[in-house]
A = this chain, B = another copy of it.
Amino acid sequence: MNEYRLRRRVQFYETDVAGIVHFSWFFRYMEEAEHALWREAGLSIHPPEGEFGWPRVAAAFDFQRALRFEDEIDVHLRIAEMARKTIRYECVISKDGHQIATGTMTIACVQKKPTMRAVEIPDDIVQRLSASKT
C-alpha cells in the first residue's frame, strides 16, 4: 500500500471569513489521507503504547484554487520516497477532476524511549508501505 485516495467533504468549520477553506486545513487533509493509507496497510501511525513516533520534518503546499463549504474533494496521497529513517509523501487535492492544491510532507521515525531519537524504519512497516496497491 503506497498510495491512497481519500474522498472527503469540506466542513463548515473549515471555512473562514474569506468564504473559502482556511489554508491550514489542507495540511490536515493530507494527514488524514496519510493515516488512512496506514490503516489500509494494516498499520496505525499512533498505536496505544507504541514504541515509535512519526514527527513531521517538513510540510508544504502550493494552492491553485479555493475550496468552499460542502465541496467534495479527493485527496490523493502517495509515498514518493522511503529512505532509511524518513518517508516523503506527495499529495494532490482535486475537485471534480480539477487540481486544487499540491503538497509534500516528510516524516521521520523516532524511538520514544529512553530518549527521543531518529531510528531506522522497522522492516514490517517498510514492507507494508512498499507493497503496490492491489
Contacts and interface: CB of A to CB of B under 8 A. Distances in A.
B17 A46 contact: yes
A12 B55 contact: no
Interface stretch (A57-65, A82-90, A91-99, A118-126): A57-65
A57 B66 CA distance: 10
Interface residues of A, number: 37
Majority SS at the chain A contact face: mixed
A5 interface: no
A128 interface: no
Contacts of A63: 55-59
Contact of A16 (B16, B24, B59, B70): B16
